[in-house]
Chains A and B, each alone.
Chain A
Amino acid sequence: MFPVDWQFHVAPYIQTFIKWLIVAWGPFFEGLSSLVLGVLLQIEAFLKWVPWWGWVTIVVILSWKLSHSLFKSILPGLLIMTIGMFGLWEVAMETLGIVIVAVLISLLVGIPTGIGMAVSERFNAIIMPLLDAMQTMPSLVYLIPALMLFGLGKVPGVIATVIYAVPPVIRLTNLGIRQVSRDVQEAAVVFGASRWQLMKEVRFPLAMPTIMAGINQTTMMALSMVVIASMIGAGGLGEEVLKATNRIDVGKGFEAGWAIVVLAIVIDRISQAAAQKWEPPKR
């Protein structure tokens, strides 16, 4: 047995820290909360304002533009119609709203962080273990601080989702920028590129395909986290899954799960095809 005398808990200190944070930074978190909520409600309202056939048309047209294949554009359209058929349209739009806001925040935070890591070795050394820790930590853990700082509801759901989903875009932005060919960078420098110009004209655009892969990953992870975030009242499809689990209603659970998968497939395909547009032209 491990000596009982040696027991030492950090839990109370973390508790105290969070409590202090709530008191000292209360207004900040409230402001942030209402800002996120405002944006979220606007986006949700828009998502619900466009009629269902509007979304089906948009998905079909987008898929057609990106794939030029009849099968690949009709199928996503039919798939998202099944969401409506299961009576989950409104809830799916709520989920989509949270995902969109979470992804936007993730990009806002993640891309500059990734650039910073590519530019500064020291910053890289600080953030890298943090990312490792974030990705090993069970996602449920993120619910607790989000809950404490923002209470129940959609906003903590968004925040927990951001924490869970942001690592891939940071990692891949960093990787993409670091991978840019030395030859091209050297040429740009010799023609008089400043550090800013080198980033703006060469490193960032050439890293774009990799960054897009990161955005895609982040979106997928956000979608999976939204389900878990329903446990703290984020609503949406996750809540349906949760209800079905509690009632051991396999059928309902399947329907909600199906809707999530369909959303994931459609978003994944469209964002991957969009990412291809950033590849430099081949012969």
Chain B
Amino acid sequence: MDIDIKKPLLEVQGLWKVFGLKQPDFDPQDEEALARMKDSGVVFAVRDVSFEVKRGEVFVIMGLSGSGKSTLIRCLPRLLKPTLGQISINGQSVSDMDEKELIQFRRHETAMVFQHYGLLPHRNVLENVAFGLKLRGVPPSERLEQAREAIVQVGLEGWENHYPAQLSGGMRQRVGIARALVQESDLLLMDEPFSGLDPLIRREMQETLLQLQREVHKTIVFVTHDLTEAARLGDRMAVMREGVFVQQGTPQEIIDNPSDEYVERFVSDERQFYKSPRKPVIYFPKKKRQARPLPRVTAPAPLMAAERR
């Protein structure tokens, strides 16, 4: 199968995630039926969401808690099975995979960073970072060496033998990021990775991520509830509310032209920061971001994976 580099890495088409559904199927067109289902306790966490993410792009999904953003990102590696819709990553249709294919897909094509880190408490930093490679069946000496490199990348050198409980929140999330980087997958999913950290550390981690991104050129889907964060990190972003994408565009576009009153309310604070010259510039200027070197993707991804071995 040929993979076109210019094609989006991630394509999501008409995605629905519905909880508490009695019958296996429903008609998304039938508004009346949907309303009736809602009254009977069915939860529409994600409703008809479509978007594309290009290679090397950072796509931010922003929304308040309960907006369905975490559900959405969990549908991408099929931690949750989508009720309806198509997800295609790297030309592979994730929504149609069986259990075996899915495990192989997760081992090689995606990596994820979680708000609550999800580190193994009984394994040290080095073993935690190497965990994904272990699942893949990479021999110990090789995986530990790769893990050491990733630990250096996130600036945790010298902490290899510490256990998660011995680290601060920021450091734990660095371990989480290293664990994702070492997978060398094209797609990196980040579910509110910095939301649990205090503001200064959060800022520092955002810097680290931008810096890393300049080196590794991942395709990142980043979920946050913080517009400032979305604007700093995102090439493009979407605002989510009650399971629906209210607006999609670059952070600049969204801040300048909020599509409705809901987005407007979100954006107004941010705009004040952005326009007032005395306040520190929290918003990362778009021009600088565009000067970033283009994604260093020269060969189809599976080929690169083969070279690595």
- The tally of residues in B whose CB lies under 8 Å from a CB in A reads 30
Interface residues of A in 175-190 (CB under 8 A from B): 183-184, 186-190
A27 within 8 A of B: no
Q: Please tell me which one of the listed residues B118, B165, B166 contacts residue A186 in the complex, with CB atoms under 8 A apart.
A: B118
Q: Cβ of B116 < 8 Å from any Cβ of A?
A: yes
Q: Which residues of A258-283 are within 8 A (CB) of B? A: 280-283
Within 8 Å CB of A191, what residues of B? 106-107, 111-112, 131-132, 135, 179, 183
B120 at interface, CB cutoff 8 A: yes
Q: Are the C-beta atoms of A192 and B107 separated by less than 8 Å?
A: yes
User: Bound complex: CA of A183 vs CA of B70, how far in Å?
Assistant: 13
- Among A84-92, A161-169, A197-205, the stretch in contact with B: A197-205
Name A184's closest neighbour in chain B (CB-CB).
B118
Tell yes or no: B294 within 8 A of A by CB.
Answer: no
Docked CA distance A193–B107 (Å)? 8
Interface residue? A229 (CB, 8 A): no
Residue A118 is within 8 A (CB to CB) of chain B in the complex: no
- Asked if residues A190 and B122 are in contact (CB atoms below 8 Å), the reply is no
B289 touches A (CB below 8 Å): no
A183 to B116, CA, bound (A): 7
- Cα distance, A130 to B103, chains bound together (Å): 36
**Of A183, A201, A202, A281, which one neighbours B117 at CB under 8 angstroms?**
A183
The 0/1 profile, CB within 8 Å of A marked 1, for residues 98-121 of chain B is 000001111110111010111111
Task: Indicate if the CB atoms of A281 and B163 lie closer than 8 Å.
Answer: yes
Name B165's contact: one of A192, A193, A281 (CB within 8 Å): A281
Contact B166 A281 (CB under 8 A): yes
Q: Which residue of the partner chain B has the closest CB to A189?
A: B79
Q: Does B203 contact A (CB under 8 A)?
A: no
Whether B136 lies near A183 (C-beta < 8 A) is: no
- Pairwise interchain contact B166-A190, C-beta atoms closer than 8 A: no
Across the interface, do A280 and B106 meet the contact criterion of CB distance under 8 Å?
A: no
Q: Does B77 contact A (CB under 8 A)?
A: yes
Of the candidates B114, B131, B163, the one whose C-beta lies within 8 Å of that of A183 is B114
Q: Quote the shortest CB–CB distance from A207 to chain B (angstroms).
A: 11
A116 to B114, CA, bound (A): 29
Q: Does B225 contact A (CB under 8 A)?
A: no
B77 x A190 contact (CB < 8 A): yes
B134 touches A (CB below 8 Å)? yes
Q: How far is the CA of A194 from the CA of B135 in the complex (A)?
A: 8
* Interchain CB contact under 8 A, B135 and A197: yes
- Contact status A206-B121, CB under 8 Å: yes
Q: B236 → chain A, closest Cβ, in Å? A: 23
In Å, the complex CA distance between A187 and B172 comes to 14
Question: How far apart sit A131 and B77, CA to CA, in the bound complex (Å)?
Answer: 39
* Chain A residues whose CB sits within 8 angstroms of the CB of B105 once the complex forms: 192
Q: Is the CB of A283 within 8 A of B134?
A: no
Determine the distance from Cα of A191 to Cα of B178 in the docked complex, in whole angstroms. Answer: 13
**Which of B104, B120, B183 is packed against the most chain A CB atoms within 10 Å?**
B120
Establish whether residues A188 and B163, one from each chain, have CB atoms under 8 Å apart when the complex forms.
Answer: no
Complex Cα spacing A155 to B104, Å: 49
Q: B195-228: contact bitstring with A at CB < 8 Å (1 yes, 0 no)?
A: 0000000000000000000000000000000000
B112 and A187 form a contact (CB under 8 A): yes
Across the interface, B103 reaches (CB within 8 A) one of A192, A202, A205, namely A192
A36 to B67, alpha carbons, bound, how many Å?
61
- Interface core residue of A184, A201, A205, A283 (most chain B CB under 10 Å): A184
- Residue pair B106, A187 in contact (C-beta under 8 Å): no
**Which chain A residues lie closer than 8 Å to B108 at the CB level?**
192
| Contact indicator A283/B166 (Cβ below 8 Å) | yes
List of B residues within 8 angstroms of A283 by Cβ: 165-166
**Which residue of A is nearest B116, CB measured?**
A183
In whole Å, how far is A17's beta carbon from the nearest beta carbon of chain B? 42
Q: Which residue of B lies closest to A191 (CB)?
A: B132
Q: B122 to chain A: which residues have CB within 8 Å?
A: 205-206, 208, 280-281
Contact assessment for B119 and A184 in the assembled complex, using a CB-CB cutoff below 8 Å: yes
Q: Say yes or no: B118 contacts A187, CB within 8 Å.
A: yes
Note all chain B residues with C-beta closer than 8 A to A187.
Answer: 112, 114, 117-119
Would you give the 0/1 interface string for A89-133, flagging 1 where the beta carbon is closer than 8 Å to chain B? 000000000000000000000000000000000000000000000
Please determine whether B114 and A280 come into contact, CB atoms closer than 8 angstroms. Answer: no
Kindly list chain A residues whose C-beta atoms are within 8 Å of the C-beta of B107: 191-192
For this complex, 6 residue pairs linking A to B, each with C-beta atoms less than 8 Å apart, are A187-B112, A188-B135, A190-B77, A191-B183, A281-B166, A283-B165
Closest 10 pairs between A and B when the two form their complex, measured CB to CB? A187-B118, A192-B107, A280-B121, A192-B106, A191-B132, A281-B163, A280-B122, A183-B116, A190-B112, A183-B118
Chain A residues in contact with chain B, CB under 8 A? 183-184, 186-194, 197, 201-202, 205-206, 208, 280-283
Besides A183-B116, A192-B106, A205-B122, 19 new A-B residue pairs in contact (Cβ under 8 A), listed by A number = A186-B79, A187-B114, A188-B131, A188-B135, A189-B79, A189-B106, A190-B106, A190-B110, A190-B112, A191-B107, A191-B111, A191-B112, A191-B131, A191-B183, A193-B135, A202-B120, A206-B122, A208-B122, A280-B165
